[in-house]
């Protein structure tokens, strides 16, 4: 097949032997044109084999291979929990609530949803504690619509992590955990979860920050990876993955005034998840983290010169419990901790994270600065001692404050209730239905009943039995002393 087209010469151009205004005829072979076009199309990326992107250019083309690899191991979690709700409609009003504390209660079923990540082929799943904690029924739905019931093996409200076991599960897709210290700011990441219950959703972004320890809310002890990948309610417990499909974190919360994603989301680092899985495999149902037994604050620019530091950073020790492992290792108030196991720490939460990852029973190499001199000291990682015995006591039906739960203060109790390191005596573990109405709270340290000093749960019980018509309690709440007066 042949074709031709005409080109008319320039009237002023006669040097090429063309007659001015005469048409120039050019012939060509259409088969050559079609062959060249087909060859060009075959070289375009749309015809290339799909695979995980390996360069920035390829990433810009598509996340499809990566999503296909990761999404089967991210699950939707549906939970039910039964709560006791008061029937009085005024209970919803903050002002009237205190007047109806003893109102009749009725069971209420609360439904919630979240996400999780399968870590092993036999059904070990990680999610957030706030998704599955206290749930009476947990249902896990895979991307291919298979459903499993699940039970909690280990949960921790402070870290907001929970490890689940799917019942009768095998040969499941799973994702690997990536060491947290390899993650760098600027890396491309995908967040996978079930936001708002609309179904599995993937959003993209970058790692926008590391070691975010001031972003916690509720009871969480914050140490997070920050990302701008959109995270919304329902994403909790889902995966934050890198470009190789490995989990770098578990999505847990967002920073927002409106309740929607504003581009600042937080994920729990994979190293802490690995520590949870190891303790669950060992049979623990409560996460045991090492106890530092000290208080401290971040060294800022104004303090750095005072402590002989070239740059601001680290934690200056402001207080230590007498049985703290740091005190046993020779640390003193005023020492600055700058690293744990060779990794810099700048906040107490960051130090607790490093110790938790190292694990109980091990020894961490802690770098300190004292009077301008730096050295490294081994510190044994131990649990908070539960000595002397806590002598847990619950007041009975014949007592003035029925249901009040008390305990003797020791390091374990200080750690559990987040008390001051120098706290002594007896503490309220649970005020119960009566004492809560007179103003007692969990964590209150009872110092005096009427004119009687008390130092044990038994002292409190006896003093209340001997009280008159009016009772006066003096409690230490944080750094304040509070007096509560009520009539029997």
As a whole number of angstroms, the distance between CA 363 and CA 355 comes to 9
Q: What is the DSSP string of 116-157?
A: EEE-STT-EEEE-HHHHTT-SEEEEE-TTS-EEEEEEEEEET
Backbone angles phi, psi at 301, to 5 degrees: -65, -35
Which sequence positions are flagged as catalytic? 130, 160, 236
Write the CB contacts of 64 (distance below 8 Å, at least 6 apart in sequence): 50
As a whole number of angstroms, the distance between CA 48 and CA 470 comes to 84
Peptide bond into 84 cis (omega under 30): no
Contact between residue 356 and residue 272 where contact means Cβ atoms under 8 Å apart: yes
Backbone angles phi, psi at 224, to 5 degrees: -130, 160
Tokens 């009749």, residue?
A: 104
Give start and end residues of each alpha helix (H) in 242-398.
270-281, 301-304, 325-328, 348-358
As a whole number of angstroms, the distance between CA 309 and CA 1 comes to 83
Contact between residue 248 and residue 241 where contact means Cβ atoms under 8 Å apart: yes
Which of 378, 336, 329 is closest to 358 using CA atoms?
378
Tokens 């949803």, residue?
A: 113
Which of 202, 188, 357, 332 is closest to 268 using CA atoms?
357
Strand partners, 138: 79
DSSP single-letter state for residue 100:
G
**Opening angle at CA 449, ends 447 and 452, nearest 5:** 85
Which of 150, 159, 157 is closest to 75 using CA atoms?
150
Contact between residue 307 and residue 336 where contact means Cβ atoms under 8 Å apart: yes
As a whole number of angstroms, the distance between CA 216 and CA 458 comes to 37
Which of 316, 296, 293 is closest to 306 using CA atoms?
316
As a whole number of angstroms, the distance between CA 238 and CA 218 comes to 19
Angle between helices 270-281 and 348-358 (to 10 degrees): 40
């Amino acid at each position: 097949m042949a074709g031709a087209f005409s080109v008319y010469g320039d009237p002023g151009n006669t040097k090429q032997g063309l007659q001015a205004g005469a048409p120039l005829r050019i012939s060509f072979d259409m088969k050559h044109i079609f062959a060249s076009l087909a060859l060009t199309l075959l070289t375009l990326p749309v015809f290339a084999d799909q695979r995980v992107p390996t360069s920035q250019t390829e990433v810009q083309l598509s996340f499809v291979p990566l999503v296909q690899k990761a999404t089967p191991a991210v699950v939707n979690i549906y939970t039910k929990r039964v709560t006791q709700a008061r029937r009085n409609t005024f209970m919803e009003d903050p002002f009237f609530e205190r007047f109806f504390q003893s109102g009749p209660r009725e069971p209420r079923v609360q439904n919630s949803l979240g996400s999780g990540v399968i870590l092993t082929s036999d059904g070990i799943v990680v999610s957030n504690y706030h998704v599955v904690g206290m749930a009476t029924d947990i249902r896990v739905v895979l991307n291919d619509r298979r459903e499993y019931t699940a039970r909690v093996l280990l949960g921790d409200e402070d870290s907001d992590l929970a490890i689940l076991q799917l019942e009768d599960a095998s040969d499941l897709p799973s994702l690997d955990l990536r060491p947290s210290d390899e993650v760098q700011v600027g890396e491309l990441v995908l967040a996978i979860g079930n936001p708002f219950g609309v179904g599995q959703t993937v959003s993209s972004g970058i790692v926008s920050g590391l070691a975010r320890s001031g972003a916690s809310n509720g009871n969480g002890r914050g140490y997070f990876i920050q990302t701008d990948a959109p995270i919304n309610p329902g994403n909790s417990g889902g995966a934050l993955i890198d470009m190789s499909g490995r989990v770098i974190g578990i999505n847990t919360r967002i920073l927002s005034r409106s309740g929607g994603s504003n581009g600042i989301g937080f994920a729990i680092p994979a190293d802490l998840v690995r520590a949870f899985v190891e303790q669950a495999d060992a049979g623990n149902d409560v996460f045991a983290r090492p106890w530092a037994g000290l208080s401290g604050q971040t060294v800022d620019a104004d303090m750095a010169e005072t402590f002989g530091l070239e740059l601001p950073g680290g934690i200056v020790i402001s207080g230590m419990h007498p049985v703290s492992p740091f005190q046993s290792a020779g640390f003193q108030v005023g020492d600055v901790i700058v690293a744990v196991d060779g990794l810099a720490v700048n906040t107490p939460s960051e130090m607790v994270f490093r110790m938790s990852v190292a694990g109980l029973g091990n020894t961490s190499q802690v770098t300190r600065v004292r009077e301008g001199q730096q050295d490294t000291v081994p510190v044994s990682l131990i649990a908070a001692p539960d000595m002397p015995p806590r002598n847990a006591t619950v007041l009975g039906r014949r007592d003035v404050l029925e249901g009040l739960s008390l305990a003797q203060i020791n390091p374990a109790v200080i750690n559990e209730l987040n008390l001051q390191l120098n706290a002594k005596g007896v503490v309220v573990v649970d005020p119960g239905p009566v004492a809560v109405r007179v103003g007692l709270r969990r964590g209150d340290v009872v110092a005096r009943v009427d004119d009687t000093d008390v130092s044990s749960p038994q002292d409190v019980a006896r003093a209340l039995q001997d009280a008159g018509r009016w009772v006066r309690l003096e409690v230490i709440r944080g750094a304040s002393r509070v007096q509560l007066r009520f009539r029997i």
